[in-house]
Amino acid sequence: MGIARLGGTASNGSGDIFLAFSTANPGAAAERGVTPLTWLPNGDLTPFFDATIQATEEAIVNALVAAETMVGINGNTAHALPKDQLRVILAKYNRLVP
């Protein structure tokens, strides 16, 4: 979702990694016996999803801003973002944090 917020999409084989974790109690996968159960309500998990989305979005923006112009194979050039122009655009849309 953090990738999507910045215009990316996911597809089969795209290499995207999604957050996965278990909320099961210790011993929940026991083969025998009774395992006591406690859990968080679904709504209490929302902050974990929000934090993951925000962290992903921030990591992408940081990578874009930190990138430098590079020349690769066969002279192909990948240009860095022009930071002065980026600041103007961010300011125009009230996205520039002083």
Could you tell me the pTM of the whole model? 0.61
* Number of C-beta neighbours around residue 56 at 10 A: 21
* Number of C-beta neighbours around residue 3 at 10 A: 18
Mean pLDDT of 85-94: 91
Q: 5-9, 46-50, 53-57 — which is least confidently predicted?
A: 5-9
- Separation between Cα atoms, residue 27 and residue 86, nearest integer Å: 51
The structural domains of the chain, with segments of one domain joined by +, span 2-67
Q: How sure is the predictor about 83, in pLDDT bands with cuts at 50, 70 and 90?
A: very high
Structure letter (DSSP) for residue 33: S
- pLDDT digit string, tens, across residues 30-51: 888 888 888 878 888 888 888 9
**Joined tokens for residue 82:** 């022009």
Q: Contact 81/89 with Cβ under 8 angstroms?
A: no
